[in-house]
Structure 1
Amino acid sequence: MSCNAIYEYQNCMKYGRPDTDFFKWKWKPDGCELSIFDAHQFLEIVRGKSMAFVGDFVARNHMESLICLLSKVLYSYFFNY
């Protein structure tokens, strides 16, 4: 499992990550119930809007993570229609 939108050197599975346990990691703050991310719903909400990520490498990591989450939906959209 990897993302087509990241650089080759960022591919954890290809370059040394020996386990897949991290796929099961879930960040959940105390007293908060987070719903599962729905890429289709997100794209509908932000349709026609602009988005900017400002900051350092942490903001860049957030942007790349979002792109990876959306790439699965966008890839199937562009190549199935």
Structure 2
Amino acid sequence: MQSQLVIQVGKLKGPFRGFRTQFNRFTFSNGVSWLQNEPKYLYYYANNPRARVIYEAGVYILEVDGTSETVQVIQDAS
């Protein structure tokens, strides 16, 4: 059984409008950004929602409170 490793927990900065396109940027309040790394669309609006990035089975996954979907992400190097 593969275990999960929590990489980051906090609030996303500003309005969250869901998952839109690959390379959509998600920035946490501490300034660390992650980019959506798969094509997936989900509309959900929340202001500064709590979120977490989890490492599992070789990929990073973003979970956002209030949504039932997750999306693969990569850390933004810019």
TM-score with structure 2 length normalisation? 0.23
Structure with the larger helix share: 1
Structure with the larger strand share: 2
TM-score with structure 1 length normalisation? 0.23
